[in-house]
């Protein structure tokens, strides 16, 4: 009997599950040109780690928005890579029920994923820190580049903040509860590009294992839950999903 290659084995594990979900971290987006945070070429090699600290944001919003102009605008020009596209196809084929992501780049949505639980928010939206009014990314970009000032609410004048979770802020309760429920009710967690060391997000795949499910990890480096994995593919994410795409007939 022919031995399955990694891509075939991966899909076989998914097809033998009753309910599977994907959990993604920064590593899935690095092939799209978006750096991770703590890797050898990570963002924190070039910028201070407290750029996403909520107290620092309120103390000096100009500092954050200067970073936004240099980095976030480039991030928004990134395109989904083969891993994002394959995950969207897997959802379309009912191989997975949803994507739970730590990423704020919006690439899963652009790739076609429909059921997305965003643990750390999204750069698609900005929120007024006083009244909660929602604004688009394009509105903020227009202010930053044309008016050369900080973005403020047109209703109350409050400062706008990206609708993402800064250090010092809690994760969005409803999204976290949905993620926990998904993890507990699924029998397979597929982790892609996450070091699984940031909590409470890293609790999610652990919950699946603790409820009798399996954990599959696709990550080039060590993760915090390697010892719980049913199978780990310690490989380049983009190359791995090119093989999976071939098996699924995704171009």
Predicted pLDDT of residue 95? 98
What pTM, to 2 d.p., does this model score? Answer: 0.92
Q: By residue range, what is the domain housing residue 67?
A: 36-77+123-164
Residue 39: pLDDT above 60?
no
Active-site annotation, residues: 120
Instruction: Show contacts of 38-43: CB within 8 Å, 24+ apart.
Output: 38/195, 43/71
Residue 157's contacts (CB-CB under 8 Å, 6 or more residues apart) are: 130
Predicted pLDDT of residue 83? 98
Residues 150 and 187 in one domain: no
Residues 134 and 209 in one domain: no
Predicted pLDDT of residue 250? 79
Instruction: Identify the CATH number of the domain in which residue 55 sits.
Output: 3.30.1600.10
Residues 135 and 242 in one domain: no
pLDDT digits (tens, 9 = 90+) for 151-205: 999 999 999 999 999 999 999 999 999 999 999 999 999 999 999 988 888 999 9
pLDDT digits (tens, 9 = 90+) for 205-234: 999 999 999 999 999 999 999 999 999 999
Residues 28 and 131 in one domain: no
Say what percent of the chain tops pLDDT 90: 78
Predicted pLDDT of residue 249? 85
More confident residue, 109 or 72: 109
Our count of domains for the chain comes to 2
Residues 84 and 138 in one domain: no
Predicted pLDDT of residue 145? 83
């Amino acid at each position: 009997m022919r031995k399955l290659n990694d891509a075939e084995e991966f899909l076989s594990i998914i097809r033998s599950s009753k309910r599977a979900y994907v959990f993604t971290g920064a590593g899935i987006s690095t092939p799209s040109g978006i750096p991770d945070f703590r890797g050898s070429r990570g963002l924190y090699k070039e910028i201070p780690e407290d750029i996403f600290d909520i107290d620092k944001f309120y103390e000096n919003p100009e500092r954050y928005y200067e970073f936004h102009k240099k980095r976030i605008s480039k991030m928004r020009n990134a395109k989904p890579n083969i891993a994002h596209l394959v995950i969207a196809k897997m959802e379309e084929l009912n191989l997975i029920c949803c994507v739970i992501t730590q990423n704020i780049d919006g690439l899963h949505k652009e790739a076609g994923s429909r059921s997305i639980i965003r643990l750390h928010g999204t750069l698609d939206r900005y929120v007024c820190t006083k009244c909660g009014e929602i604004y688009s990314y394009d509105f903020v970009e227009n202010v930053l580049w044309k008016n050369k000032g900080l973005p403020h609410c047109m209703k109350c004048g409050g400062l706008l903040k990206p609708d993402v979770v800064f250090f010092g802020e809690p994760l969005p309760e409803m999204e976290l509860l949905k993620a926990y429920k998904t993890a507990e009710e699924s029998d397979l967690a597929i982790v892609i590009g996450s070091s699984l060391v940031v909590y409470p997000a890293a609790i999610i795949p652990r919950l699946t294992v603790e409820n009798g499910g399996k954990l599959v990890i696709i990550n080039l480096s060590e993760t915090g839950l390697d010892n719980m994995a049913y199978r780990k593919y310690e490989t380049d994410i983009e190359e791995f999903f090119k093989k999976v795409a071939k098996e699924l007939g995704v171009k």
